[in-house]
Amino acid sequence: MAVISSPLDFNAEQLFVDLSETFGRRLYLKCEGFNFAGSIKVKAALGMVEAAERAGVLRPGSVIVESSSGNLGVALAMIAATRGYGFVCVTDSRCNPATRQMMEVLGAQVHVVREPDPHGGFLGARINYVQALCVADPRNVWLNQYANPNNWGAHMRTTAPAIAREFPQLDVLFVGAGTTGTLMGCARFFKQRNRAWNRRVHIVAVDAVGSVTFGTPPAPRMIPGLGTSVRPAQLDESYIDEVVHVEEPDTIRACRRMATKGFLFGGSTGTVVSGAMRWLKEYGAPGLTAVAIAPDMGERYLDTVYDDEWVSAEFGRHTLADPHLTQPIQAA
């Protein structure tokens, strides 16, 4: 029995799902949504807050201000509530209504940016608003998840070692690219471990089509989570072996296909799994040990990814006409 006094005292770190029955190819999915913030972002949020506290940047009366498409905002709202800080989340119109409501229930103020910046898109507009808030009031503190080394540092200390403990013979790791905090923390850990253990773990970044993170052209994206309209400052491509880009209809199909087996995962997870399965189909050898990170769960996507009307309106009804939603692929 676990008895806790703070929501930060619980996180199911060592939970993996074998997706071979769902997709016909073995992929172990590290589930990061079983904590009170509901996503992997609680690790980065706590790492950045505690570093700011140690530096004296956050102190009684401070207000945390951060740009977020949703999951980090929920994590920061929870932490702010437990530690007595104010919190303002600057998001945009793609943020799920349920996510906005969760932040508000936890005591956060949520500002929704409605117009993208001409050059930086919605992310650029959000960052501009955050910077303006910090200039207007010295109590406001921007943690800046896009450039804060405590973002990736949290995953180098926790997420990556947990994978290494469970899969010492890991061959390939698939990580979604948003702020690239999870990606860079895991990539740095395994690159260092590669040198020490003389074993090579192949790092594959999974990004959304329309994201500019890896230099591809910008395009509209409807599913929040992965992808950016401004290249993250903490990204260092020298640690990454490959990049896979996923179309949003494929994200939806992957999510819904996992749901046919009772696994309700979020949009970021669907993107990572779709990209991983495509890579494994092309390059995966028999006996390969492959792990992907599932950043979130699916409850916050019930009005979007799992809603037939929304999917039909945004992507067309053909997106739903996937025979594999009722019948898994046969193993090669």
Q: Range of 242's domain?
A: 7-31+158-311
pLDDT tens digits, 14-34: 899 999 999 999 999 999 999
Q: Could you write out the DSSP letters of every residue in 95-163? A: S-HHHHHHHHHTT-EEEEE-S-BTTTHHHHHHHHHHHHHHHH-TTEEE--TTT-HHHHHHHHHTHHHHH
Co-location of 60 and 188 in the same domain: no
> Measuring CA to CA, which residue among 278, 288, 220 is closest to residue 245?
278
Check: CB of residue 275 under 8 Å from CB of residue 267. no
Co-location of 20 and 167 in the same domain: yes
C-alpha gyration radius of the chain: 19
pLDDT tens digits, 208-265: 999 999 999 999 888 887 888 889 999 999 999 999 999 999 999 999 999 999 999 9
70 domain residue, yes or no? yes
Co-location of 66 and 87 in the same domain: yes
Query: CA 19, 317, 207: angle at the middle one, nearest 5?
Result: 45
Co-location of 190 and 136 in the same domain: no
Pairing between β-strand 86-92 and β-strand 63-67 as defined by DSSP bridges: parallel
Check: CB of residue 145 under 8 Å from CB of residue 66. yes
Query: How many domains, the chain?
Result: 2
Co-location of 59 and 95 in the same domain: yes
**Tens of pLDDT along the chain (332 residues)?**
578 889 988 888 889 999 999 999 999 999 999 999 999 999 999 999 999 999 999 999 999 999 998 899 999 999 999 999 999 999 988 788 888 999 999 999 999 988 888 877 888 889 999 999 999 999 999 999 999 999 999 999 999 999 999 999 999 999 999 989 999 999 999 998 877 777 789 999 999 999 999 999 999 888 887 888 889 999 999 999 999 999 999 999 999 999 999 999 999 999 999 999 999 999 978 889 999 999 999 998 999 999 999 999 999 988 887 655 543 333 33
167 domain residue, yes or no? yes
> Measuring CA to CA, which residue among 109, 111, 117, 118 is closest to residue 95?
111
Q: What does pTM read for this prediction?
A: 0.91
318 domain residue, yes or no? no
